[in-house]
Amino acid sequence: MNNAILEDTAKQIRADVLKMVYSAQSGHVGGAISLVEILLALYYDVANIDPKNPGKEDRDRIVLSKGHGCAALYSVLARKGYFPVEDLWDFRQTHSHLQGHPDMRKTPGIDVNTGSLGHGISNATGMALAAKHKKMDYKVYAIIGDGEAQEGIVWESAMAAAHFKLDNLVVILDYNGLQIDGENDDVMSIGDIVGKYRAFGFECYKVDGHDIDAITYALKAPVTPGKPTFICCKTHKGKGVSFMEDKYGWHGKAPNQQEYEAAIKELGVTING
């Protein structure tokens, strides 16, 4: 898919997220729309997946460890054909399969339940190890948040991934610098995150997390045998909506009608339904 189409798709995904969270008056906007280009690179250009056969054994696994950003993931899955787009508008409703965090038992395309920070990357590490044991060549992609990197279990997973030489594991950091209570550096600094992963034994890249070409280049880079990969994607929380960008207050806040309409107008996207 060419860049112009992907850029339009990115705006559509962001608009979907806004409508979903506005309609539910619940959910996470900022950290969902910061990872849109990461998801587009994976689902539209890199990962071996099949929406018509979401459970195929040799598929690549994609784990949204920062499960609170699931509104963006649901939009991508719907627009890739995993389920009807109309399902998005029941986001976070009791009868819906699109819950506030991903649930593999309810939603096609979800490879593992996530939400408790650090558990997704831990599962992804185990899934990559399972592939090695089964002598299968699928890859496992785990998307984490920078606030999540404060969790000890993340570093236990990194240590295990390096120890078991999981060169089929790719950890992608949505590095927007903010979390629910403020800036990472004020809450709990994660320091030189790339240097830390390199010290743990990962092959590391740092890219603009809103540049699909740059993300795709890093994702497709030749694998260093025996070394897992870490890609630090520098992003902006609330990307694409000026009054949300780089504002930690939009971590878990639903827009009111005026804010919703202003955001949709700014994106220049028509919402149907």
Instruction: Enumerate domains of the chain plus CATH numbers.
Output: 3-267 (3.40.50.970)
Tens of pLDDT along 110-138?
999 999 999 999 999 999 999 999 999 99
For 144, other C-beta atoms within 10 Å of its C-beta total 26
| Distances in whole angstroms, Cα of residue 51 to Cα of each of 82, 83, 110, 219 | 5, 9, 11, 21
The residue-averaged pLDDT of 222-235 equals: 98
pTM: 0.96
Does the structure show a pLDDT above 60 at 273? no
> Cα 97–260–176 angle (5° rounding)?
75
The residue-averaged pLDDT of 15-25 equals: 97
| Distances in whole angstroms, Cα of residue 187 to Cα of each of 10, 119, 132, 191 | 30, 21, 37, 12
Q: What percent of the chain has pLDDT over 90?
A: 91
Q: Which of 75-84, 138-147, 175-184 shows the lowest mean pLDDT across its residues?
A: 175-184
Residues 6+ apart with CB under 8 A from 8: none
| Pairwise CA distance, residues 165 & 24, whole Å | 43
pLDDT-based confidence at 181, cuts 50/70/90?
confident
The pLDDT mean for the chain works out to: 95
Q: And the tokens for 90? A: 């029941």
Q: Which of 124-138, 145-159, 214-228, 259-273 shows the lowest mean pLDDT across its residues?
A: 259-273
Residue 178: per-residue pLDDT: 85
Residue 103: per-residue pLDDT: 96
Does the structure show a pLDDT above 80 at 4? no
Q: How far apart are the first and last CA of the chain?
A: 26
Does the structure show a pLDDT above 70 at 165? yes
Helix axis angle, 152-163 to 119-133, nearest 10°: 10
Does the structure show a pLDDT above 90 at 153? yes
Residue 180: per-residue pLDDT: 81
pLDDT-based confidence at 1, cuts 50/70/90?
low
Residue 270: per-residue pLDDT: 77
